[in-house]
Amino acid sequence: MGTALIYDEEMTKYKLLWVDPACKIETPERLTVSYEALVRNALAERCISVPVREATNSEILLVHSEEYLEAVKKTPYMTLEDLKEFTLQYGDVYFHPNIYHCAKLAAGSALQLVDCVMTERVRNGMALVRPPGHHSQHSAANGFCVFNNVAIATRYAKQKYGVKRVLIVDWDIHHGQGVQYCFEDDPSVLYFSWHRYEHQTFWPQLRESDYDSVGKEKGAGFNINVPWNQVGMESSDYLSVFCHVLLPVAYEFCPDLVLVCAGFDSAIGDPEGKMCATPEIFAHLTHLLMNLAGGKLCVVLEGGYNLTSLAQSVCQTVQTLLGDPLPRLANLSGPCRSALESLQCVRSAHRQYWSCLKHAASLPPADISTKRIKLAEEEAKTEVGEEEKSTEEKVWPEPPKRFSPPVRCASVLPDDVTRPDGCKRLGADQDVNPLTASKLKDDDCDTLSRVITLVEKMEQNEICSGLALVCDVTVAMTQVVQHLTPDPVNRVLIVCVGNGKVPSHITRDGKTLVVQINSEETEDQNSKYYIPVFLKKGCSDTSGFMHAVFGLILPLGYEYDPNLVLLVRMPDSGVCDAVWQQLTGLLQSFAKGHTLVLMQENEKAFVGPTTSVLLGDPAPPLENRQAPNTEDLNVVERLRDRLQVNWNLLQTTSECTG
């Protein structure tokens, strides 16, 4: 199944007709540069082009009042003076004779996207629209928004397709208060937003944008606000929040559909956001959401005002929706102190609602509330409208080209195992490097030499990922590592699922990082590079396992930044299919998707499900949503406490930084 792209140049046909410094950044060029970049990078042609349509009155009334709709309906016939007059009743938005038409197209585009995803005509998709939507409210336009495109799409999906749970992820740098107001008492819609806040001094300066707005009545816990109280946030800060807040909660929520309020003003270079995360981060944010809801992901454009970073970010997002390997995120520095404060605040505010956060620190940092008051007073002192001091232009490297290796997935299988279609067999006859063959001293020599050849072809980017059935995974793992470690550039992340002894020399000199999830205590080598995660209920317990994936494996993997990932299924691991597939999918965040899966010969039943995920299909959703059991939560927390001195992305509170 493919990726939908919804765009129509009609939505470029409105603009600001008078002087208004607050609105001048919302221009038609935002849409044209985005679409043209998709065309130029040969991404648009790989998408399924879906036509726009106007949202109908009744669809708009799913969110907005009749009075508001009737009022907006009159704008096409207004004079310039009337339009200015009409605009004054709202904040930071402008009207134009054609904006009503474009606003119906923007909302209708989101509905078209929901239709083709829910009818499985496509797997996922992106709608390039303007005007944006997430600030508009029941009876008000606001923040360049006229109709709330994503809120309407959410109500539409529930009404037309009976979708029970919708996750809305708002990565725009502004708080989508319009969406929050819509669903704050609705437990069937989980709204997550991060936003520049600076202790309520940044637009729209709402008290209800802070982390303690968790939702109301039945909706308590289903509204998650992550305020950024400083500018300059980087990829590490965004990833920390995904790993330690959004993903654990999203998996516990188990949505049937995921919608993204995709604003790219959270990228480096944006005049509104003033953040420092590079466009590649959106490839990862998109990928991390793609294994939820069976891959049903609808991305709808919101903000983004730096035409260069906007176009690059849109391309990163669409290329990931298309299933291409991700770029590596170089030198992640770990979350800054302010981000850790926000992280701690959000986790403490939501610990009572989500079992995955049950063990989060119970209190926000001591001085957080006084900071808001102090800063607000300071802000009041500086005269209004003071020009931004730092006007230096941000520069960043062009994101690297992401191309798919000729072979997406290759397998080394015993002759009696049928090769899944789409997966290339690495035959014995295959040009096996005679040198490696001679080095392998094992009765399984033939298979192992083919595994080594597979690894060599991954290093040469001829093959993206691989799967091998071997007679002894520990031997195979050791051979692969021995083959790789001499090369100083190599760093291998090894994720072992299940019991069994991992040879200790394997973690020598930091060339490999081993994380082993097992159900029996192994003597703790207490090495920075060997991390045993002992789950009392073993790998069969979905919640505990996924908790270790989000709380440990993902942060460690991002910080370690390997160039190869070895996923080893130890004998009798007991891990269930769906969890195994989720892990396989999530590990493709690293090493540009170079994942080698090693399994015992008798596990041939898992060859199909594993290869489908290696080929880019979404992992099936994890049905059960019971709580991780307490001991397992404790294990992960204790490990995190011990390891976070060495691994910054494991941090979740600001107290820990010295």
Active centre residues (catalytic): 135
What is the rounded distance in angstroms from the CA atom of residue 86 to the CA atom of residue 213? 31
302 is an interface residue for ligand X54 by CB under 6 A: yes
Residue 218, number of CB atoms within 10 A of its CB: 11
Please compute Rg for the chain using Cα positions: 25
Residues 200 and 207: their CA atoms lie apart, in Å, by: 6
- Closer to ligand X54 by CB, 135 or 372: give it: 135
Per rule CB under 6 A, is residue 252 in the interface with ligand X54?
no
Tokens 């021995």 map to which residue?
482
- The C-alpha atoms of residue 569 and residue 580 are separated, in whole angstroms, by 9
Least separation, in Å, of the C-beta of 195 and Zn ion? 8
How many residues touch ligand X54 (CB under 6 A)?
Answer: 15
Q: Which is nearer to ligand X54, 209 or 507 (CB)?
A: 209
| The one among 30, 104, 135, 174 contacting Zn ion by CB under 5 A | 174
Query: Using an 8 Å Cβ cutoff, are 532 and 518 in contact?
Result: yes
CB of 539 to ligand X54, least distance (A): 42
Taking the complex as a whole, how short is the minimal distance between the CB of residue 301 and ligand X54, in angstroms?
Answer: 9
Instruction: Choose the one of Zn ion, ligand X54, none that binds residue 256, judging by a C-beta under 5 to 8 angstroms depending on kind.
Output: none
Contact 480, 567 (CB under 8 A): no
Give one word for 444, left, alpha or beta, with left for phi > 0 and alpha for psi -120 to 50. Answer: alpha
135 is a site residue for Zn ion (CB under 5 A):
no
* Residue 172 interacts with ligand X54 (CB under 6 A): yes or no: yes
Choose the contact partner of 472 out of ligand X54, Zn ion, none; CB within 5 to 8 A by kind.
none
Residue 22 binding: pick among Zn ion, ligand X54, none (C-beta 5-8 Å cut-off by kind): ligand X54
| CB-closest chain residue to ligand X54 | 303
Contact residue for ligand X54 among 54, 186, 237, 265 (CB under 6 A):
265
Residue 178 CB, nearest distance to ligand X54 (Å)? 10
Counting DSSP H helices and E strands in the chain, the numbers are: 21, 16
* 632 sits near ligand X54 (criterion: CB under 6 A): no
Residue at 219: amino acid letter: G
Burial class (CB in 10 A: 0-12, 13-18, 19+), 79: exposed
Taking CB positions, which residue lies at the least distance from Zn ion? 303
- The single residue among 7, 35, 100, 144 that binds ligand X54, judged by CB under 6 A, is 144
* Distance of closest approach, residue 124 Cβ to ligand X54, in angstroms: 22
x/- string (CB under 6 A) for ligand X54, residues 173-212?
Answer: -x----------------------------x---------
156 contributes a contact to ligand X54 by CB under 6 A: no
**Angle of helix 29-40 relative to helix 307-321, nearest 10 degrees?**
50
Residue 169 to residue 292: CA distance in whole angstroms: 12
Could you say which of ligand X54, Zn ion, none residue 551 binds, taking C-beta under 5 to 8 angstroms by partner kind? none
Q: In the complex with ligand X54, which residue's Cβ is closer, 136 or 312?
A: 136
Which H or E run includes 470? strand 463-470
Question: Does residue 195 bind Zn ion (CB under 5 A)?
Answer: no
- Looking at the Cβ atoms of 145 and 357, the one nearer to ligand X54 is 145
From 178, 215, 227, 303, residue interacting with ligand X54 (rule: CB under 6 A): 303
**Torsion angle, alpha carbons of 354, 360, 362, 367, to 10:** -120
| Residue 92 binding ligand X54, by CB under 6 A | yes
Query: How far, in Å, CA of 359 to CA of 352, rounded?
Result: 10
The answer to whether 562 and 530 are in contact (CB under 8 A) is no
Answer for which of 108, 125, 132, 227 binds ligand X54 (CB under 6 A) is: 132
* Cα three-residue angle 318-319-321, rounded to 5 degrees: 60
Q: Does 569 bind Zn ion (CB under 5 A)?
A: no
Under rule CB under 5 A, residue 274 binds Zn ion: no
The least distance separating ligand X54 from the CB of residue 596, rounded to whole angstroms, comes to: 42
For strand 463-470 and strand 257-262, is the pairing parallel, antiparallel, or unpaired? unpaired
CB closer to Zn ion, 178 vs 295:
178
- Quote the least distance from Cβ 386 to Zn ion, whole Å: 21
Name the segment binding Zn ion (CB under 5 A); options: 165-173, 216-224, 229-237, 489-497: 165-173
* Order of all β-strands in the sheet with 463-470: 424-425, 407-412, 463-470, 595-600, 564-569, 492-497, 512-518, 530-534
Strand partners, 6: 127
Q: In the bound complex, what is the minimum distance in angstroms from residue 4's beta carbon to Zn ion?
A: 23
Separation between Cα atoms, residue 2 and residue 45, nearest integer Å: 11
Residue 295 Rama label (left phi>0; alpha psi -120 to 50; beta): left
Tokens 């009042």 sit on residue: 65
Assess contact for 598 and 477: CB atoms under 8 A: yes
Instruction: Count other Cβ atoms within 10 Å, centred on residue 525.
Output: 14
| Interface with ligand X54, residue 95, by CB under 6 A | no
Closest to ligand X54 by CB, 386 vs 509, is: 386
Residues 244-273 that bind Zn ion (CB under 5 A): 263, 265
Distance CA 375, CA 381 (A): 10
Q: Which is nearer to ligand X54, 132 or 628 (CB)?
A: 132
Piece of the chain touching Zn ion by CB under 5 A; list 223-231, 295-303, 461-469, 585-593: 295-303
Q: Which long-range contacts (CB under 8 A, 24 or more apart) does 523-527 make?
A: none
> Smallest gap, in angstroms, from Cβ of residue 9 to Zn ion?
22
Binding site for Zn ion (CB under 5 A): 172, 174, 263, 265, 303
Binding site for ligand X54 (CB under 6 A): 22, 92, 132, 135, 143-145, 172, 174, 203, 263, 265, 272, 302-303
